[in-house]
Amino acid sequence: MQAPGKEVLLVDWLNALVYEMAVRRCIFGRFRVRIEGTHLRGIAWGEQADVVRHEPAVEVKGATFTDLYVGQTSSGAWVAQCVVDV
């Protein structure tokens, strides 16, 4: 996946996950993401969605650019956030 910046990469990655969750009817719980410049490569692991076990309250429709932020804290940890539509 490629985008003009880290923020757009985050939104595109999250929207790709939302799509996969809907099409495959699965829940993701573990991720490995590597960003190099304007390229993102990621893997998501999960399992088939089970309404009884997972008790979903809402369905995420997509990631938005609202409150979008990708950056490092003073300790060097990465923070990535945005608001999602439900």
Q: How far apart are CA 80 and CA 74, in angstroms?
A: 14
Domain 6-85 CATH superfamily: Archease domain (3.55.10.10)
Per-residue tens of pLDDT for the chain, all 86 residues: 888 888 999 999 999 999 999 999 999 999 998 888 888 899 999 999 999 999 989 999 999 999 999 999 999 998 999 999 99
- Residue 40: CB atoms within 10 Å: 19
- CB count within 10 Å of CB 14 equals 17
H or E segment to which residue 7 belongs: helix 6-24
Q: Where are the domains of the chain?
A: 6-85
Type of residue numbered 1: M
C-alpha 4/C-alpha 38 separation (Å) is 6
| pTM as predicted | 0.86
